[in-house]
Amino acid sequence: RSASSSVAVDKFRHVKNYFKDARFWSNLEQVVGFLDS
């Protein structure tokens, strides 16, 4: 396994955790509300 692929896996895990974070969804709702206004 090369070092670059493990870095990609770490980034993917970080993104996956970010999407599971409720703060992300509340921020997304705020952004959508801002764009809608």
Half-sphere exposure of 14 (CA within 13 A, CB side): 6
Which pLDDT score is estimated for 9?
92
Q: How many domains does the chain have?
A: 1
For residues 18 and 24, the answer to whether their CB atoms sit within 8 Å is yes
Residue 28's pLDDT band (boundaries 50, 70, 90)? Answer: confident
> How many degrees, rounded to 5, is the angle at CA 36 between CA 23 and CA 16?
30
Share of the chain above pLDDT 90, in %: 30
Torsion over CA: 13, 17, 20, 26 (sign): negative
| pLDDT in the model for residue 10 | 92
What pTM was computed for the model?
0.38
Per-residue pLDDT, 4: 84
Distance CA 30, CA 22 (A): 13
Domain that holds residue 29: 3-36
- Compute the average pLDDT of residues 12-19: 85
Share the mean pLDDT of the chain: 86
